[in-house]
Amino acid sequence: MEQLLNLYAEMGISEKVYEYGEQAIKKLEDRFAAIDKIAEYNQAKVLAAMQKNKVSAVCFAATTGYGYDDVGRDNLERVYADVFHTEAALVRPQITCGTHALTVALSANLLPGDELLSPVGLPYDTLQEVIGIRQSPCSLAEYGVSYRQVDLLDDGTFDYEGIRAAINKKTKLITIQRSKGYATRPTFSVTQIGELIAFCKSIKPDVLIMVDNCYGEFVETIEPSDVGADMVVGSLIKNPGGGLAPIGGYICGTTACVSRCAFRLSAPGLGQEVGANLGLMPSLYQGFFLAPTVVAGAEKGAIFAANLYEPLGYRCVPNATESRHDIIQAVELGSEEGMIAFCKGIQAAAPVDSFVTPLPWEMPGYNDKVIMAAGAFVQGSSIELSADGPIRPPYAVYFQGGLTWCHAKLGILMSLQKMIDAGLINL
């Protein structure tokens, strides 16, 4: 213990901050145990899918060029489909990020004259240009796909009457974002998403439902595809990549939807048959294998952060005690200085680039200046310990990740220390 305190002191974390953290952790034992139970189930789920599909060293071979007959790639897609309980999956390094995966899913399944509906308010920042809410070349709007939105009610619940009124004969696809993104609304549980899907399908049975599953994978024992989603979509440099995937995205869903996505991603006529794996299969398989426990560690970090900051008077979303449906923790710091100090702490705790100072910048795809702290092995990976947020009221940082609980804990303690050092907090 003294050894640990000495090392933490050398790294800049005071005994006072450490002790404050320990008090918080004492109260979290039961919650952490519940998270471990979910991880145990999800670990078995992934393992069973890998065993069923006879994953072997043959699957790890690199392919190049067209990538025809890529056994490892095709089998990884079967593993994903089995874990998400879907007919099909598209899991590719050629999908460059979550926004790209969502763009592929939307543009493959929406045609000119169709309408897209978001019944959960404004979608994630980068999706706004994809849809054409903010103008961009090649947006869905430019291709004649219209968009309609129903905001959440003031209490964060679904506006069922508004949604009923918004669904019309043009409504082809409904997009539901599970995680709050850069908003301070609640993240939806899979059960809530299931209720919304059932409602939408009761009004229009053939409407397609896509769930933006970013940051939600493996937080619960079920996924949106278990409650009626036609497609679930996410990024491999978030939860399902387990920190090892260096790039990639996934779309799991019905054969009808996913095969269209494959044609959109490559080319009509080519579809899922092409796309070399470039030697990335070992990290995509192993990352998926590790993902359930990595997600559990990240979730513990998020809960720890809320239990550290909320008693100090900062609003936390989710709050210190409520149940969790993604790995994101928003902490409203109330000022740009607060955001900078918090992010400095996360950066200083990183294994990579710990010596740099994060500053707000104009990031492509975002409307406001954004600050990002990330010292990640994979650039921009937010399953690794990271904090970011747009510089706008309520000056919330969105904290997420941590490949291990111990690292997440250290990072959060360091953020608190930097807030104290900046004179913003007095313990």
Which range touches ligand PLP (CB under 6 A), out of 48-56, 173-181, 371-379, 389-397?
173-181
Closest alpha carbon to 165 in 204, 139, 129: 204
Closest alpha carbon to 346 in 307, 385, 397, 302: 385
Cβ atoms of 84 and 232 within 8 Å: the answer is yes
215 lines the binding site for ligand PLP (CB under 6 A): yes
Cβ atoms of 257 and 279 within 8 Å: the answer is no
Written as six digits, the tokens of 395 are: 């000056």
179 lines the binding site for ligand PLP (CB under 6 A): yes
Which range touches ligand PLP (CB under 6 A), out of 109-117, 195-203, 209-217, 250-258?
209-217
Instruction: Say whether 51 sits in a helix, a strand or coil.
Output: helix
181 lines the binding site for ligand PLP (CB under 6 A): yes
18 lines the binding site for ligand PLP (CB under 6 A): no
Closest alpha carbon to 176 in 190, 193, 158: 193
For the chain, how many residues are written?
A: 427
Which range touches ligand PLP (CB under 6 A), out of 10-18, 177-185, 220-228, 414-422?
177-185
Pairing of strands 386-390, 249-253: unpaired
Near ligand PLP by CB under 6 A: residue from 42, 103, 171, 177: 177
Beta carbon nearer to ligand PLP, 212 or 223? 212
Beta carbon nearer to ligand PLP, 63 or 99? 99
Least Å distance between CB 59 and ligand PLP?
25
Written as six digits, the tokens of 300 are: 């513990």
Beta carbon nearer to ligand PLP, 17 or 176? 176
**φ and ψ at residue 251, rounded to 5 degrees:** -135, 115
Least Å distance between CB 368 and ligand PLP?
16
The H-or-E segment that residue 80 falls in is helix 71-83
| DSSP β-bridge partners for residue 232 | 211, 252
Residues 140-169 that bind ligand PLP (CB under 6 A): none
Near ligand PLP by CB under 6 A: residue from 97, 104, 197, 412: 97
Q: Print the binding letters for residues 227-246 with ligand PLP: x by CB under 6 A, - otherwise.
A: --------x-----------
Written as six digits, the tokens of 220 are: 């619960």
- Rule CB under 6 A: which residues touch ligand PLP? 97-99, 124, 126, 177, 179, 181, 212, 214-215, 235
